[in-house]
Amino acid sequence: MTSTRCPPVRVGSAARTRSTLTTALLGCAGLVALGAALVVRVRWHDDPVMTILGVILALALGVSGLFYLLAALWLLLTGRAGLAAADRASVA
């Protein structure tokens, strides 16, 4: 009997690419949120309530944007962005 060997198939490479792309998009969303935090108007001369709300919005955008950016950078730099997706694809 002759056995034919198939070339090795890279299971999970598409899933790894999608996961890396998703992580990069998360980092971009963090940059957009940080940019938005910098351009939020935080001072209204006549209305102190709007000033307080502007400060709260700017802080929320800045903190969440920084968290998104740091999480995306950590996932990309440690190589964990595509690992879980590749593992799920190889099990299926």
Distance CA 26, CA 46 (A): 37
pLDDT at 9: 47
pLDDT at 63: 92
pLDDT at 42: 72
pLDDT at 2: 61
Q: Model-level pTM?
A: 0.63
In the chain, domain spans: 24-83
Predicted confidence (pLDDT) at residue 6 exceeds the cutoff of 80: no
- Contacts (Cβ under 8 Å, ≥6 apart) of 31: 65, 69
